[in-house]
């Protein structure tokens, strides 16, 4: 399944364009590598605006919930996406290089057939935490069960081991 929404970004800004919609997580194929499952959907709004320096740009808001994989237990890790960003539109590669020198500015090249869905996917991937884990003690039940079973097995395999050890030292 794939969705796309293509704009000419400079036209979009000129016309003070605004658009909102929903994207199923399932459709964001490049994001799938980071996910536990493909459930959920994201809502987004994109609007064409000029920034305070009169530069054209795209304001992007993305909200929704996705499920990452915990890097410790590989269990489901709910993650909330709540992104707001302003991307300055560079008209040429040179302008893009110039804009990139300013760390406070996020710039993208204004190609005449920009796929907004792909842009949204990029922004989500960039926003993901480098390391994603459950908070301490919240790892998946399977892992806890596994540890518990392991402990029980050890106990039942050597019921008097601790006692013997005690006797020896005395």
| SS3 track for the chain | CCCCCEECHHHHHHCCCEEEEEEEHHHCHHHHHHECCCCCEEEEEEEEEECCCCCEEEEEEEEEEEEEECCCCCCEEEEEEEEEEEEEEECCHHHHHHHHCCCCCEEEECCCCEEHHHHHHHHHHHHCCCCCCCCCCCCCHHHHHHHHHHHHHHHHHCCCHHHHHHHHHC
Nearer to Zn ion, 36 or 86 (CB): 36
Contact string 109-148 vs Zn ion (x = CB under 5 A): -------------------------x----x---------
* 72 forms part of the interface with Zn ion (CB under 5 A): yes
* 68 forms part of the interface with Zn ion (CB under 5 A): no
- Shortest Cβ distance from residue 76 to Zn ion (Å)? 9
What one-character DSSP code corresponds to residue 3? -
Pick the binder of Zn ion from 28, 42, 70, 90 (CB under 5 A).
70
Pick the binder of Zn ion from 31, 73, 90, 116 (CB under 5 A).
73
- Shortest Cβ distance from residue 147 to Zn ion (Å)? 12
* 38 forms part of the interface with Zn ion (CB under 5 A): no
Q: Which stretch binds Zn ion (CB under 5 A): 31-39, 64-72, 117-125, 157-165?
A: 64-72
- Shortest Cβ distance from residue 77 to Zn ion (Å)? 7
Place of tokens 């305070």: 52
Helix and strand totals (H; E) in the chain: 5, 7
Nearer to Zn ion, 91 or 148 (CB): 148
Per CB under 5 A, residues contacting Zn ion are 70, 72-73, 75, 134, 139
């Amino acid at each position: 399944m794939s969705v796309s929404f293509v704009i000419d970004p400079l036209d979009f800004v000129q016309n003070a364009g605004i658009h909102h919609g929903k994207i199923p997580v399932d459709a964001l194929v490049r994001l799938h590598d980071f996910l536990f499952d493909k459930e959920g959907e994201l809502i987004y709004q994109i609007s064409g605006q000029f920034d305070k320096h009169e530069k054209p740009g795209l304001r992007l808001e993305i909200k929704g919930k996705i499920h990452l994989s915990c890097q410790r237990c590989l269990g489901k890790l709910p993650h909330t996406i709540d992104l707001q960003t302003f991307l300055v539109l560079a008209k040429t590669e040179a302008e893009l290089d110039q804009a990139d020198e300013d760390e406070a500015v996020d710039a993208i090249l204004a190609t005449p057939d920009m796929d907004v869905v792909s842009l949204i996917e990029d922004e989500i991937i960039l926003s993901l935490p480098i390391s994603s884990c459950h908070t301490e003690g919240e790892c998946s039940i399977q892992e806890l069960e596994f540890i518990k079973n392991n402990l029980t097995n050890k106990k039942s395999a050597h019921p008097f081991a601790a006692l013997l050890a005690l006797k020896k030292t005395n």
